[in-house]
Amino acid sequence: MVRVCPTSQSDAAESSSFLKVDPRKKQITIMDPSTNQTPSAASQKRAGANHIPPKMFTFDAAFPPDASQAEVCAGTVAEVIQSVVNGADGCIFCFGHSKLGKSYTMIGRDDSLQTLGIIPCAISWLFKLINERKEKTGARFSVRVSAVEVWGKEENLKDLLSEVATGSLQDGQSPGVYLCEDPICGMQLQNQSELRAPTPEKAAWFLDAAIAARHSSQWSNTTEEEHRNSHMLFTLHIYQYRMEKTSKGGMSGGRSRLHLLDLGSCDVKALGGGGGKSRENSSPSSAPLCLSLSALGNVILALVNGSKHIPYK
Ligand SMILES: Nc1ncnc2c1ncn2[C@@H]1O[C@H](COP(=O)(O)OP(=O)(O)OP(=O)(O)O)[C@@H](O)[C@H]1O
Q: What is the pLDDT of residues 26-64, one digit of tens each?
A: 999 998 877 655 545 555 555 555 678 889 999 999 999
The alpha carbon of 108 and the centre of ligand 1 are apart by a number of angstroms equal to: 8
The alpha carbon of 209 and the centre of ligand 1 are apart by a number of angstroms equal to: 21
**Is the pLDDT assigned to residue 304 strictly greater than 70?**
yes
Average pLDDT over residues 253-271: 78
Kindly report which listed range (110-114, 121-125, 178-182, 264-268) carries the lowest average pLDDT score: 264-268
- Ligand 1 contact via 257 beta carbon (within 6 Å): no
Written as one string, the DSSP assignment of 71-139 is: HHHHHHHHHHHHHHHTT--EEEE---STTSSHHHHHTB-TTSGGGB-HHHHHHHHHHHHHHHHHHHH--
Percentage of the chain exceeding pLDDT 70: 77
Give 269's pLDDT tier (boundaries 50, 70, 90): very low
* pLDDT, position 313: 56
When the pLDDT of each residue in the chain is averaged and rounded to a whole number, the result is 81
- Other Cβ atoms less than 10 A from the Cβ of 293: the count is 12
Kindly report which listed range (14-28, 115-129, 201-215, 279-293) carries the lowest average pLDDT score: 279-293
- In this structure, which residue's CA is closest to atom 27 in ligand 1? 264
As a whole number of angstroms, the distance between CA 29 and CA 16 comes to 10
Q: Which of 100, 97, 94, 128 is nearest to 4 (CA)?
A: 100
The alpha carbon of 242 and the centre of ligand 1 are apart by a number of angstroms equal to: 42
- Other Cβ atoms less than 10 A from the Cβ of 211: the count is 20
- Considering just the CA atoms, what is the radius of gyration of the chain in Å? 23
- Ligand 1 contact via 278 beta carbon (within 6 Å): no
- Ligand 1 contact via 276 beta carbon (within 6 Å): no
Q: Which of 303, 309, 308, 307 is nearest to 89 (CA)?
A: 303
- Ligand 1 contact via 99 beta carbon (within 6 Å): yes
- In this structure, which residue's CA is closest to atom 8 in ligand 1? 101
DSSP state of 5: P
ipTM: 0.95
* pLDDT, position 129: 96
The alpha carbon of 36 and the centre of ligand 1 are apart by a number of angstroms equal to: 29
- Ligand 1 contact via 6 beta carbon (within 6 Å): yes
* pLDDT, position 297: 87
Percentage of the chain exceeding pLDDT 90: 42
The 3-class SS string of 22-71 reads: ECCCCEEEECCHHHHCCCCHHHHHHHHHCCCCCEEEECCCEECCCCCHHH
* pLDDT, position 6: 84
The alpha carbon of 39 and the centre of ligand 1 are apart by a number of angstroms equal to: 36
- Ligand 1 contact via 229 beta carbon (within 6 Å): no
**Is the pLDDT assigned to residue 196 strictly greater than 80?**
yes
Pick the atom of ligand 1 nearest to 69's CA. Answer: 1
Q: What is the pLDDT of residues 204-251, one digit of tens each?
A: 999 999 999 987 676 656 666 666 778 999 999 999 988 777 666 677
* pLDDT, position 236: 98
57 vs 110 pLDDT, higher one? 57
The alpha carbon of 281 and the centre of ligand 1 are apart by a number of angstroms equal to: 20
- In this structure, which residue's CA is closest to atom 11 in ligand 1? 101
* pLDDT, position 145: 97
pTM for this one?
Answer: 0.82
- Ligand 1 contact via 101 beta carbon (within 6 Å): yes
For the chain, the straight-line distance linking the first and the last C-alpha, in angstroms and rounded, comes to: 24
* pLDDT, position 277: 40
- In this structure, which residue's CA is closest to atom 12 in ligand 1? 101
The alpha carbon of 162 and the centre of ligand 1 are apart by a number of angstroms equal to: 28
